[in-house]
Amino acid sequence: MRKMGTHPSCFKSYDIRGRVPDELNADIAYRVGRAYAATLALRGPVVVGRDIRLSSPALAAAPIAGLNDAGVDTFDIGLCGTEMVYLAAARPGVVGGIMVTASHNPVDYNGMKLVREQARPISGDSGLKRIADLVAASRFPLQLVLEAPINPWMSLTNTSLKYCPLSTGRFWRPCIWVVNAGNGCAGPDF
């Protein structure tokens, strides 16, 4: 990690990505949670999800702790695809979402995708630069709240079924089903 006062190299134009732990680690991820809360002046819950990378559980726990310390409630939806965070962040009353994922990058990388209410992406022009500034400064007031787990799987199922309605147990029109296995995180054992 670079010294305080300079932006960590993991901040890109549209997301946060870097080699773990040199460019992105739990300390930076915690500060991202704090800075995200301060930048958006959040007044409601934020959804946090993660992919299957070995570094993802710790990198998801860190911004949750940062958000909670900033006084923001969180919904930890755990192992999921990015679309699950976007769907949950678009729900009424939810003010944002963080997906911990490095997408297509090599195994030693990880990252975060940030969205605001209605799952609107946060990029350099819409707040990510400000978040990077606050992460570099690392000065935040302390407030404490508790995180709350939620399970968005039924919501995703119901939303998906809206696109292919069922009528008396049969499809009323032909459907083409596309399955995204999400590198294995789409089918955890319930």
Catalytic residues: 103
Question: What are residue 42's phi and psi, to 5 degrees?
Answer: -65, 135
Residues 6+ positions from 80 with CB-CB distance below 8 Å:
49, 50, 51, 152, 182, 185, 186
How are beta strands 46-50 and 74-79 bridged, if at all? parallel
Give CA–CA dist 63/59, Å, rounded.
7
By C-alpha distance, which of 18, 32, 26 is closest to 58? 26
Asked if the bond preceding 106 is cis, omega within 30° of 0, the reply is no
* C-alpha count within 13 angstroms, C-beta hemisphere, residue 56: 24
Tokens of 39: 């930048």
Closest CA to 76 of 129, 157, 145: 145
**Helix H or strand E encompassing 50:** strand 46-50
